[in-house]
Amino acid sequence: MTRDVSLALVQMQCSEDKQQNVCKAVERIVAAAEKGAQIICLQELFTSPYPCQEEDHRVFDWAESIPGPTTDVLGKVAAKYEVVIVASLFERRAPGLYHNTAAVLDADGSIAGIYRKMHIPDDPLYYEKFYFTPGDLGFKVIETRYAKLGVGVCWDQWFPEAARLFALGGAEILLYPTAIGWIDEEKEEFGKNQYNAWQTSMRGHAIANGLWVAAPNRVGTEGRIEFWGGSFFVAPTGEVIEQGSHSDEQTLIQTCSLDMLDLVRTHWPFLRDRRIDAYGGLLQRHLSP
């Protein structure tokens, strides 16, 4: 028997109304499930506008516990339609302790696992270090009914070390819920290259590790950021199977053959030929000349 999994990526705009955003996500999850999707991944921090364009203590009011109200809603949907849902949330772990966290709801509605974003950016209009404590759960693979998932969040997707650790842990699909876009004054000069670099980085993860990679991204303009959408799927060969619009809300659905992993890894045996005896320097911040 072949192992095929139907994977959906939800690309949408977000309003200031949390309940409206959750309801929109649920509608898209249900529609994807009715089309046969088994795993459905939402974009980064889908319950609100992207919260980190400025440092504002009022933004902490968007946060919630896990388990909490949003995972309760999504768990019921997951159980009813027997789908796996990957939901990126602003987690309130304890007073004064917040994370950017992806919760994975299994097909029975239970929480199969969570991933707390490990790499926290601090760039113009992406002031995440003000809000989020770096994750402390590592790069653990989350096993679900349909596939073993490695789930990173946005900035994590630029780091090959993270992708490799997910692969070594047994991940079959890497998912990166994302909120990335063009800053108004930079788009004309740098926009095309910025998008290409984003996609190319993840194509490299797929090739180097011989697994599926997919990233759902938001669309729409919020403040000075034009989120560029362009959600996409990459096969273990590095081929972009489908890419979404840069401006429209969409749900993309593709079939991922998990049998491809063994085929690709035996033809491109990068994991076989790793020199694990020679990589100690990777644990250093910098190597002297």
- Residues designated as active site: 44, 117, 154
For residues 153 and 115, the answer to whether their CB atoms sit within 8 Å is yes
The answer to whether the bond into 134 is cis (omega within 30° of 0) is: no
195 burial via Cβ count (<10 Å: 0-12, 13-18, 19+): buried
Closest CA relative to residue 46, chosen from 177, 142, 224: 177
| Residue that has been written with the tokens 């302790």 in this structure | 97
Main-chain phi, psi angles of 257, to 5 degrees: -85, 115
DSSP 143-160: E-SS-EEEE--GGGGG-H
The closest alpha carbon to 261, from 165, 170, 189, belongs to 170
Spatial separation of the C-alpha atoms in residues 182 and 225, rounded to whole Å:
6
Residue with tokens 């020199």: 275
User: Distance between CA 17 and CA 15 in Å, rounded?
Assistant: 5
